[in-house]
């Protein structure tokens, strides 16, 4: 028993020291962030052509004989040298004759958006689009790999507006949906000049949902009063704790219908080929069905589009990486370490999946 008490005191002291170190590091990181003007992120650019070449070469080196591999590499090197020379001559010609600038090599910029209820990724998306638009030409193209089940209207409205910036610059925008683009996700997808969906990707859900529990009767049984003062007849309609009236329900339904109408208009404006009365029921369809309904243009995956583009153009993946303060990273690492330690002590499985 005495041993356990001493061990507990040791852990308490150790935890105190760790917390103190975290506070010091956090203060230093915050001060450094202020000196940098509050910047918390950076643009990361990956040339996907090189990535695809590395995958191909890794397989070739194991499948082909050394002589075949060497000969193939030699031939491709000569071809690349020839292409580089042609591009150099083209660049010089463009300097002398600006009208030839339009013949410059097309570039594909790949962005990725994995949405949650609050569309938190829009914080990075806006920076990525700003970076791309700063150098993009009309001959270039943007491909957005989109995955989102939807969420809050105002959040996805902002995300959609960011994509409008690309269309306003008349730069081709392709949206690829490998898994799901529903509700707010499709609000974004319909901004694409072309929408490509995997055969069984979930598409649609053009509807609006408002739901919340009401605890009024529970409070009544417990003899708890709930007071709410408002200025404006419809400052609040449905509430969690107050008594909801028919008038409040009617107003809430009116608001939902208005937002649904705006959603339908948004889709019709950016995707005029669809029959909004047919598809704006809140239903979802898989990619094959969505193509028949003209919700998407073609069936395929983002990998197909990217690999095909790498064979003809330069392809760059652009990502805005938000730097977390040192104390946040340390806190996450400490939490993960403690979590693993507790799992080990309790003997709980570490690979349990909840379906």
CB 144 within 8 A of CB 174: yes
Report the top-level CATH class of 44-88+103-205+286-322: alpha beta
CB 232 within 8 A of CB 334: no
Q: Does 183 participate in catalysis according to the annotation? A: yes
pLDDT at 282: 95
CB 153 within 8 A of CB 184: yes
pLDDT, tens digit, for every residue of 2-30?
Answer: 655 665 666 666 667 766 666 666 666 55
Q: Does 235 participate in catalysis according to the annotation? A: yes
pLDDT at 355: 32
Q: At what angle do helices 48-63 and 302-310 cross, to 10 degrees?
A: 90
DSSP string, 126-188: HHHHHHHHTT--TT-EEEEEEEE----HHHHHHHHHHHHHHHHTT--EEEEEEEEEETHHHHH
**Residue 4, token pair as written in the block:** 């356990």
- Give per-10-residue mean pLDDT for the chain (355 aa): 60 65 62 55 94 89 85 79 69 58 77 95 96 96 97 96 96 98 97 98 95 91 89 89 92 95 96 95 97 98 96 95 72 64 49 35
pLDDT at 230: 86
CA distance 199 to 289: 9
Catalytic residue among 124, 148, 160, 183: 183
Considering the entire predicted model, what is its pTM? 0.76
Rounded to a whole number, what is the distance in angstroms from the first to the last CA of the chain? 42
């Amino acid at each position: 028993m005495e041993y356990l008490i001493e061990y507990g005191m040791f852990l308490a002291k150790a935890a105190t020291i760790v917390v103190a170190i975290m506070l010091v590091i956090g203060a230093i990181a915050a001060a450094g962030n202020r000196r940098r003007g509050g910047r918390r992120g950076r643009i990361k650019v990956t040339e996907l052509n090189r990535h695809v070449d590395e995958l191909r070469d890794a397989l070739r080196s194991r499948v082909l004989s050394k002589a075949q591999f060497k000969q193939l590499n030699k031939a491709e090197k000569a071809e690349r040298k020839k292409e580089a020379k042609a591009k150099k001559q083209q660049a010089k010609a463009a300097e002398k004759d600006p009208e030839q600038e339009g013949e410059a090599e097309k570039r594909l910029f790949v962005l990725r958006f994995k949405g949650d209820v609050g569309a938190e990724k829009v914080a990075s998306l806006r920076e990525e689009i700003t970076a791309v638009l700063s150098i993009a030409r009309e001959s270039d193209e943007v491909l957005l790999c989109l995955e989102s089940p939807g969420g809050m209207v105002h959040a996805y409205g902002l995300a959609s507006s960011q994509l409008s910036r690309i269309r306003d610059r008349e730069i081709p925008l392709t949206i690829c949906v490998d898994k799901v683009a529903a509700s707010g996700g499709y609000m974004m997808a319909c901004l694409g000049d072309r929408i490509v969906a995997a055969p069984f990707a979930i598409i649609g859900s053009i509807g609006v949902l408002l739901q919340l529990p009401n605890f009024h009767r529970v409070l009544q049984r417990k003899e708890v009063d709930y007071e709410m003062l408002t200025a404006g007849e419809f400052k609040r309609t449905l509430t969690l704790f107050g008594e909801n009236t028919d008038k409040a329900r009617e107003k809430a339904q009116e608001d939902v219908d208005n937002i649904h109408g705006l959603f339908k208009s948004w889709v019709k404006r950016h995707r005029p080929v669809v029959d909004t009365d047919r598809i704006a029921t809140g239903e979802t369809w898989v990619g094959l069905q969505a193509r028949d309904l003209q919700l998407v243009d073609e069936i395929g995956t983002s990998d197909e589009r990217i690999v095909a583009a790498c064979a003809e153009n330069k392809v760059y993946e652009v990502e805005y990486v938000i730097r977390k303060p040192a104390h946040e990273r340390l806190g996450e690492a400490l939490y993960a370490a403690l979590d693993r330690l507790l799992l080990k002590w309790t003997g709980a499985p570490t690979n349990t999946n909840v379906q």
